[in-house]
Amino acid sequence: MKDKSDTEFAAQITAARDVMAAHLVALNAQDADALAATMHFPHYRLSGGVMRAWETPDTYLADFHKRASGEWHHTRWDSIDVLMASPDKVHLDVRFTRFRADDSVLAQHRSLWVISELDGVWAAQLRSSFAP
Tens digits of residue pLDDT in 22-59: 999 999 998 989 999 999 999 999 998 999 999 988 88
The pLDDT assigned to 3 comes to 52
DSSP bridge partners of 128? 46, 112
pTM metric for this prediction: 0.90
CATH of domain 2-129: 3.10.450.50
Looking at residue 6, its amino acid is D
For the cut 70, the answer to whether the pLDDT of residue 61 exceeds it is yes
The pLDDT assigned to 66 comes to 78
Looking at residue 129, its amino acid is S
Mean of per-residue pLDDT scores for the chain:
91
Nearest residue to 16 via CA among 71, 107, 72, 93:
93
The pLDDT assigned to 2 comes to 46
